[in-house]
């Protein structure tokens, strides 16, 4: 049975073997390697045992028909599902005539290490065969950041016996059946048809979407024989005592010269050699961590979890362009491989301040899908663009419209990401080529869906905000405030400005709180949270959820985090306490945002508890649906909780401001970020905060202007009382 070893600063170590399919699938997600372009789940080298095999190429998908018990106008007719690409991972070993299988013989040692600085997955095994032959195995796996189409494995085995290795490149692997969780992916059997094969190359095409993919493979360091068929290339080597080789494979897809590209990338990587691939990987990550690392003194586990989250955010976005960043990254097939709104609202903010080149690519991908969004707007009889709730290539792929099509805030989320990226980078070229058009087209939708009542107040009716347990409401505060920002940035005309100025922000005078949406505080209360089975959506019909004051995830609280200048401090305090008592956190997106407001309002221990929840969601055994891929937005959420929460980072109006504080759990907190090409390091202790810059930078410290030129400045940190936590239905840590 495996366990994650005690927290280490820069590695995640698994000791032993995962027991059971669920644990195996969870580990395969944790130990996935990716670069945003290609991704390899953390399957064992040998084909069995396994939970869910997975090799993913960004935007390699198959189409499926969507069927409805009752059809409706403008319901999407097709959806897209990520498919398991040709797999270059499998290596089957035979020792003294017996197949190596961790479930047989004696497994003396089995250890895997995900190295967050090296960007590698290393596996070490000591095994005794049923006949008593001792074997030692070491493999190192890398998915190159510098060479986006390339992955490689170094495989070394020793034993006092004859050894045989069968190293495969295989297509159309059998997939486990789908479960009934609505968040799980559909399973597509045999998605590929063969097009061409050669000694070192397989070319296939998806049967419906028509995407052609080529993969080229080579083995370096040992002599072997090749056998090739339409769906498999097998390289076989035999030797007494020991075998060591490097397996290098590269992909080409979604373009004209797939075969040539795959072979060229593979050959270039083989010429460079495995050691050079490792050196390039380390250099790339050194550069990343120099501007992204978070250091915490006082909690090794959350320290590890935060770095783990940042690493996987980078793996999801580093080379994603010209494709989207899926909500599971390339660690699994959850959500069918779709990208959702949490990309712009959670993942891109982190990358904007740590690795902004990723963000420009991701937003250019959104711009490349603008024609699909315009077509969807026309279909819905709206103006401008209506960006999809779920998609891979651009069309709307969600058939559940109350929490999909009605969640119009996706438009404003995209516009907000554009504004944040431009403010943080000054990338005027991007704005001319893509950003300005994105802001204008998203804003035209708000101009169309808004209307004025008899008193001249503007409204947006019948929408769903971030809280998917409260659907089809009028004047969702988050949606209206984000739409206001979108309209003002676009400055289309006087009418648009008037709409922005007059948009309703519902407020309950009797209770002294903002309403999440008009009428929310007058809904019936959920009778009791005690003894409930979570998530509620798997145990209660939406008819019950929609009619109650029960909140799936931060919504009004998210509005206060992203549009904080629209609320007074006292309003924030009352709102936070009110919605804490009604938020069940049935989404991994909730805890990071609650951490931000808790820290701002002085609930420091509560904020830290929410940080812990986000940082450890996937690392701990049995994380919520982690077997079908990691929660990339929650991975980003640990950084959000630290830097926006305890760092107090805000960028209102394009101005960088910081209001640092430190939770009682820590003795020192340090984080890094980029702003307009300058790196800023912020070090917080209970007594002081120190800013160190490697170039010119201007920002605000607790509202006061600060300018640095390649130097540092320190301020005394006034103590902040750690306020008690308000009541909440589920204490931090109690999530599925």
453 annotated binding-site participant: no
Whole-angstrom Cα distance, residue 248 to residue 616?
33
For Cα atoms 182, 406, 339, give the angle at the middle one, nearest 5 degrees: 55
Closest of 428, 292, 311 to residue 353, by C-alpha: 292
Distance CA 240, CA 543 (A): 67
Q: What are phi and psi of 264, to 5 degrees?
A: -65, -45
Closest by Cα among 175, 267, 253, 144 to 209 = 253
Distance CA 734, CA 11 (A): 26
Distances (CA, A) of 31 to 43, 141, 171, 331: 8, 10, 22, 8
Determine if residue 301 is labeled as part of a ligand binding site: no
CA dist 114 and 189 (Å) reads 31
Distance CA 439, CA 276 (A): 43
* 260 neighbors 238 (Cβ within 8 angstroms): no
Burial degree of 597 (CB within 10 A; 0-12, 13-18, 19+): buried
Classify strands 294-297 and 450-452 as parallel, antiparallel or unpaired: unpaired
Block residue for tokens 């007494």 = 240
Which two tokens mark 629?
Answer: 């891929």
109 CB neighbour count, 10 Å cutoff: 12
- DSSP single-letter state for residue 5: P
Question: In degrees, to the nearest 5, what angle opens at C-alpha 323 toward C-alphas 318 and 329?
Answer: 55
**Gap between the Cα atoms of 620 and 274, Å rounded:** 32
Whether 468 is catalytic: yes
Q: What is the distance of C-alpha 104 from the center of its chain?
A: 37
Contact call for residues 153 and 45 (beta carbons, < 8 A):
yes
How far, rounded to the nearest angstrom, does the alpha carbon of residue 421 sit from its chain's CA centroid? 18
Q: Residue 375 and residue 366: Cα distance in Å, rounded?
A: 14
d(CA 259, CA 528): 60
Terminal CA-CA length for the chain: 22
In angstroms, the Cα distances linking 359 to 14, 411, 559, 721 are: 32, 17, 22, 37
Three-class SS state of 433? helix
Helices 300-317, 274-292: axis angle to 10 degrees equals: 110
Is 446 annotated in some ligand binding site?
no
The Cα–Cα gap between 599 and 663 comes to 8
From 344, 396, 468, 600, active-site residue: 468
Q: Find out whether 218 and 140 touch, Cβ atoms under 8 Å.
A: no
Q: Residue 700, annotated ligand binder?
A: no
CA torsion, ordered 561, 563, 566, 569, to nearest 10 deg: 20
Characterise 97 by phi-psi region: left (phi > 0), alpha (psi -120 to 50), beta (else): left
User: Which residues have C-beta within 8 Å of that of residue 673, sequence separation ≥ 6?
Assistant: 291, 292, 353, 354, 643, 649, 679, 680, 682
Instruction: Indicate which residues carry an active-site annotation.
Output: 468
Binding residues for substrate, by number, are: 341-342, 552-553
């Amino acid at each position: 049975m495996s366990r994650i070893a005690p927290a280490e600063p820069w590695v995640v170590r698994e000791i032993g073997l995962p027991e059971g399919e669920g644990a195996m699938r969870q580990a395969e997600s944790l130990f996935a390697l990716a670069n945003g372009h290609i991704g390899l789940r953390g399957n064992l080298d040998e084909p069995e045992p396994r939970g869910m095999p997975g090799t993913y190429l960004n935007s390699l998908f198959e189409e499926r028909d969507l069927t409805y018990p009752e059809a409706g106008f403008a319901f999407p007719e097709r959806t897209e599902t990520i498919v398991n690409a040709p797999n270059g991972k499998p290596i089957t070993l035979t020792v003294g005539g017996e197949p190596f299988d961790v479930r047989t013989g004696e497994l003396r040692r089995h250890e895997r290490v995900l190295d967050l600085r090296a960007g590698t997955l290393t596996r070490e095994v000591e095994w005794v065969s049923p006949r008593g032959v001792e074997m030692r195995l070491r493999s190192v796996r890398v998915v190159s950041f510098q060479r986006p189409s390339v992955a490689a494995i170094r495989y070394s085995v020793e034993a006092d016996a004859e050894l045989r290795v069968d190293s495969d490149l295989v297509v159309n692997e059998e997939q486990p059946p789908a479960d009934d969780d609505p968040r799980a992916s559909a399973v597509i059997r045999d998605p590929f048809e063969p097009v061409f094969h050669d000694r070192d190359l397989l070319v296939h095409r998806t049967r419906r979407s028509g995407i052609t993919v080529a993969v080229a493979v080579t083995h370096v360091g040992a002599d072997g024989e090749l056998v090739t068929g339409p769906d498999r290339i097998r390289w076989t080597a035999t030797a007494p005592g020991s075998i060591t080789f490097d397996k290098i494979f590269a992909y080409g897809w979604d373009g004209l010269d797939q075969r040539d590209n795959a072979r060229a990338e593979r050959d270039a990587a083989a010429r460079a050699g495995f050691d050079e691939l490792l050196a390039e990987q380390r250099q790339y990550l050194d550069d990343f961590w120099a501007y992204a690392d978070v250091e915490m003194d006082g909690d090794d586990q959350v320290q590890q979890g935060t770095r783990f989250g940042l690493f996987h955010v980078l793996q999801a976005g580093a080379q994603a362009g010209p494709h989207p960043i899926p909500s599971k990254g390339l660690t699994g097939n959850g959500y069918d491989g779709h990208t959702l709104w949490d990309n712009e609202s959670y993942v891109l903010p982190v990358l904007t301040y740590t690795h902004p080149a990723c963000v420009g690519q991701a937003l250019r991908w959104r711009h490349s899908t603008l024609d699909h969004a315009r077509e969807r707007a026309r279909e819905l009889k709206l103006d401008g663009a209506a960006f999809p709730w779920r998609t891979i290539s651009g069309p709307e792929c969600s058939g559940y419209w109350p929490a999909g099509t009605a969640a119009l805030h996706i438009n404003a989320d995209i516009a907000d990401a554009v504004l944040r990226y431009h403010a943080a980078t000054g990338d005027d070229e991007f704005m001319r080529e893509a950003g300005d058009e994105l802001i204008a087209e998203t804003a035209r939708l708000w101009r169309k869906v808004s209307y004025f009542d008899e008193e001249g107040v503007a409204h947006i009716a019948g929408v769903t905000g971030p809280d998917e347990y409260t659907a089809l409401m009028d004047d969702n505060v988050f949606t209206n405030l984000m739409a206001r920002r979108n309209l003002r940035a676009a400055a289309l005309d006087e009418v648009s400005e008037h709409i922005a100025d007059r948009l309703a922000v519902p407020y309950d005078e009797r209770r002294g709180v903002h309403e999440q949406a008009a009428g929310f505080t007058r809904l019936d209360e959920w009778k009791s949270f005690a003894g409930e089975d979570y998530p509620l959506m798997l145990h209660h019909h939406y008819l019950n959820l929609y009619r109650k004051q029960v909140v799936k995830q931060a919504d009004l609280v998210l509005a206060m985090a992203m549009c904080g200048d629209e609320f007074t401090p006292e309003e924030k305090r009352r709102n936070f306490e009110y919605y804490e008592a009604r938020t069940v956190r049935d989404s991994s997106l909730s805890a990071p945002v609650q951490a931000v407001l808790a820290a701002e309002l002085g609930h420091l221990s509560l904020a830290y508890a929410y940080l812990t929840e986000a940082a450890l969601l996937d690392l701990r055994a049995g994380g919520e649906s982690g077997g079908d891929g990691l929660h990339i937005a929650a991975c980003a959420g640990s950084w959000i909780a630290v830097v926006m929460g305890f760092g107090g980072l805000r960028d209102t109006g394009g101005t960088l401001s910081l209001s640092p504080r430190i939770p009682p759990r820590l003795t020192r907190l340090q984080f890094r970020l980029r702003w307009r090409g300058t790196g800023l390091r912020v070090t917080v202790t209970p007594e002081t905060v120190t800013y160190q810059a490697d170039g010119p930078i201007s920002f605000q410290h607790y509202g006061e202007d600060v300018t640095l030129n390649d130097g540092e400045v320190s301020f005394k940190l006034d103590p902040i009382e750690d306020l008690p936590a308000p009541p909440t239905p589920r204490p931090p840590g109690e999530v599925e």
